Amino acid sequence: MQHLIKLAWLTATLAGALYLSGTTATAAVKTYTQSGNALRAYNVSRYSTVNNRNLFVKRYAFTGTGSTVTSTRGKRATFKTNFLLPSGYDRSAKNWRNPQSMVLTPNGKTLYILSTNHANRGFIAKYDLAALKRLGITGQHVAALATAGADHATQSLSPKDRQILKHIHIGPTFACGHGQSLALNPKNHQLWFVGAKAVHSNVQQVSTRTLKPIKRINFTLKHTVPMGENLTFDKHGNAYFYTYSNGGWAPKGTVKLYQGKIGQKSVKFHLIMQGLRHRPGTKNQSLAYNPKRNRLYFVSDGSIASIPVNKLGHLKARQVEAANFNGRREFEGLQFTSNGTGYLLTNRSAQVMKTTQKTY
Cα 243 to Cα 3, 197, 206, 235, 281, distances in angstroms = 43, 10, 24, 22, 12
pLDDT of residue 93: 82
pLDDT of residue 20: 29
Calculated CA dihedral for residues 106, 343, 360, 187, nearest 10 degrees: -20
Letter string b/e over residues 121-142, b meaning 16 or more CB atoms within 10 A of that residue's CB? bbbbbbbbbebbbebbbbeeeb
CB 151 within 8 A of CB 158: yes
Radius of gyration of the chain, Cα coordinates, nearest whole angstrom: 20
User: At a CB cut-off of 8 Å and minimum separation 6, what does 358 contact?
Assistant: 339, 340, 341
pLDDT of residue 349: 85
pLDDT tens for the 360 residues of the chain, in order: 434 333 333 333 333 332 223 444 445 799 999 999 999 999 999 999 999 999 999 999 999 888 999 999 999 999 999 999 999 898 888 999 999 999 999 999 999 999 999 889 999 999 999 999 999 999 889 999 999 999 999 999 999 999 999 999 999 999 999 999 999 999 999 999 999 889 999 999 999 999 999 999 999 999 999 999 999 999 999 999 999 999 999 999 999 999 999 999 999 999 999 999 999 999 999 999 999 999 999 999 999 999 999 999 999 999 999 999 999 999 999 999 999 999 999 998 899 999 999 889
Residue 333, CB-side half-sphere exposure with 13 Å CA sphere: 28
